[in-house]
Structure 1
Amino acid sequence: MKLGYRIVRDCGRADRTLVDAFSRIPTAIISDNMGRMFAGGAGLRPLHRSGGMAGNALTVRARPGDNLMVHKAADLAREGDVIVVDAGGDLTNAIIGELLVSYARSRGVVGMVVDGAARDLDALSAGSFPVYAAGVSHRGPYKDGPGEINVPISVGGMVVNPGDIVVGDMDGVLAIPADGAQALLAAAQAQQAKEAAILKDIEAGTWDRSWVDATLRANGFTD
């Protein structure tokens, strides 16, 4: 094997029922229940018009400015995958654009995340296919490699392993490790139900706000 060229073809994938359940919960709520420290992807912003995604991570480590292995990942993708690319955060050359995104979508990919640049923003922003990137550049990519597929990567400071559940909405994107995913889902669903009840209380004018002053008093503040 030539150094820097590696493709791992077999990696675990989360059950589709579990992925679908996470797709119905906002990323903000999931993040709250991950201690607000494991979820992230700082600097990765949605480029599409609206909508969310949830799928299994198909990871790519790409040489900054080069998308050869991203193309190969699109060839290998299975329905329900999210292609997640560690391109080192470099914004000099776009790693993905309208053509590659369209091809990945035709392969059943449900979203793309790039710690690097994208291009063809007019086309991407007009659609609902989820695309997250660190920035935009009109300069196209090289296609020489090297790169790796289905290896642990880091995007925007967030570790992503092959097969992680990747969830995104207009607030951003996060990766959920397989270990503990069921417990996380239960906690996030409970918070979602609690927040739905609070919204009803706000509408009815009955939201209990006593905790605000209680917290201030506990910290030594007095009127």
Structure 2
Amino acid sequence: MSTTPRTGVVVTGPPRADAAEVAVLAGYGVATVHEALGRTGYLGPDLRARQDGVRTGGTAVTVLCRPGDNLMIHAAVEQCRTGDVLVVTTTSPCVDGLFGELFATALAHRGVRGLVTTTGVRDVAELRAMGFPVWSAAVSAQGSVKASPGAVNVPVVLGGEVVRPGDAVLADDDGAVVVAREWVGETVTAGRARLDKEEAARRAFAGGELSLDRYGLRDELARLGVRYVDGSTPGEPA
């Protein structure tokens, strides 16, 4: 069991998932990766993209803040490097605007690929204009203080999923998903297989095949007692 304290610590140099494999997963998209993981890893519907049509992925630098306090985000910037995604949450619920344009400017300089946070963000127009992608639980102009210790690069929980420093975090219009760094290579293979399966189905549906037949769902309907009733026959139940 880890002896790393939950707060009052900045962990330096954690292991990171392979950058090339993370880039492949980012290209697959969140829904595909989530399905490839056995429908796990999704960080929840509350994390909304604050821009349209952006897809990103990187290795997590995690931040645990106190509500209304962004001190530890300042500490986290120094720990970020090219290919990372900053992942921020708080010790109890908070949707204050803990992140804005100035943080994004500093992170962009370091090659960070985006932010995923359970808090609020502000300066949204500026973030969009500079092309820094953000997924957040809220948009809020509410400011913050810098007065309370938290932690950088410790495991955090978002949407019921544990995100550890160095794990792969992927995000697009469908939300965000985490892949444990040890599973990234396996997930690349599983995700490719799922994309191939979807492409085959897409071609079949474009040619007129029904999903009921392709997926063998007629037998499932029968097993569940679903009946087909001729609606044109008088006296039959609708």
Q: TM-score over 0.5 for the alignment?
A: yes
- Out of 184, 188, 210, the residue aligned to residue 181 of structure 1 is 184
Instruction: Please state if 1:204 is matched with 2:207.
Output: yes
| Alignment-mate amino acid for residue 123 of structure 1 | E
Larger radius of gyration: 2
Secondary structure class of the residue paired with 2:197: helix
In 2: Cα distance, 1:49 partner to 1:222 partner: 42
Q: Tell me which residue corresponds to 2:233.
A: none
1:38-70 Cα deviation digits (max 9, x unpaired): 322341111123311111000011111111111
- In the alignment of these two chains, the number of paired residues is 221
Q: Is the 8 A contact 1:59 1:85 kept in 2?
A: yes
Aligned match of 1:193: 196
Look up the match of 1:41.
44
Structure 2 unaligned regions, length at least 5: 229-238
Q: Secondary structure at the match of 2:28?
A: coil
Tell me the CA shift for residue 104 of structure 1. 0.9
Q: 1:145 aligns with which of 144, 148, 163?
A: 148
Deviations 1:150-203 (A, max 9, x none): 000012322100100001111000110023322222111101111112112222
The reply on whether 1:19 has 2:14 as its aligned counterpart is: no
Whole-angstrom distance in 2 between the partners of 1:33 and 1:165 = 14
Who is 2:219 aligned against? 214
* Cα distance in 2 between the residues matched to 1:156 and 1:191: 24
1:75 shift after superposition: 2.1
- Residue 121 of structure 2 aligns with which residue? 118
Q: CA deviation at 1:106?
A: 1.4
Q: CA RMSD in A?
A: 1.9
| Residue 93 of structure 2: aligned partner | 89
Give 1:86 shift: 1.2
The Cα offsets for residues 115-134 of structure 1, whole Å up to 9 and x where unpaired, read as: 11111122234454220111
> Identical aligned pairs, as a percentage?
33
- Give distance in 1, aligned partners of 2:9 and 2:146: 16
TM-score, normalised via structure 1 length: 0.91
After TM superposition, which residue ranges in structure 1, 4 or more long, deviate above 4 angstroms? none
The whole-number CA distance in structure 2 between the counterparts of 1:154 and 1:219 is 38
